[in-house]
Amino acid sequence: MGTELITVLDVDTREEALDLVRACGDCKFFKIGAQLFTRCGPAIVKEVQALGKQVFLDLKYHDIPNTVAKAAKGAADLGVSLMTIHAVGGRRMIEAAREAVEGSGTRILAVSVLTSLSDEMLRDEVGINETAESAVQRLAALAVDSGAHGVVSSPQELPVLRAELGPDALIVTPGIRPAWASRDDQARIMTPRDAAAAGASFVVVGRPILKHENPAEAVRMILEELNV
Ligand code: C5P
Ligand 1 pocket, 192 CB below 6 A? no
Three-state DSSP state, 182 = coil
Residue 24's pLDDT is 97
For residue 16, which amino acid is it?
E
Rounded mean pLDDT for each run of 10 residues along the chain, 228 residues in total: 94 97 97 98 98 98 98 98 98 98 98 92 94 96 98 96 97 96 90 97 97 96 93
Distance CA 12, CA 35 (A): 6
Kindly list the domain boundaries of the chain, sorted by start residue.
4-226
pLDDT of residue 1: 67
> Atom 18 of ligand 1 has which residue's CA nearest to it?
174
Q: What is the pTM of this model?
A: 0.96
Q: Out of 12, 55, 204, give the residue to mutate to test ligand 1, the one with the largest number of ligand atoms within 8 Å of its CB.
A: 204
The residues carrying an active-site annotation are: 60
CATH architecture classification, 4-226: Alpha-Beta Barrel (3.20)
Amino acid at 174: P
Number of the ligand 1 atom closest to the C-alpha atom of 114:
21
* CB distance 145 to 168 below 8 Å: no
Q: Is 10 in the pocket of ligand 1 (CB under 6 A)?
A: yes
For residue 181, which of 153, 228, 154, 219 has the smallest C-alpha distance?
219
CB 51 within 8 A of CB 69: no
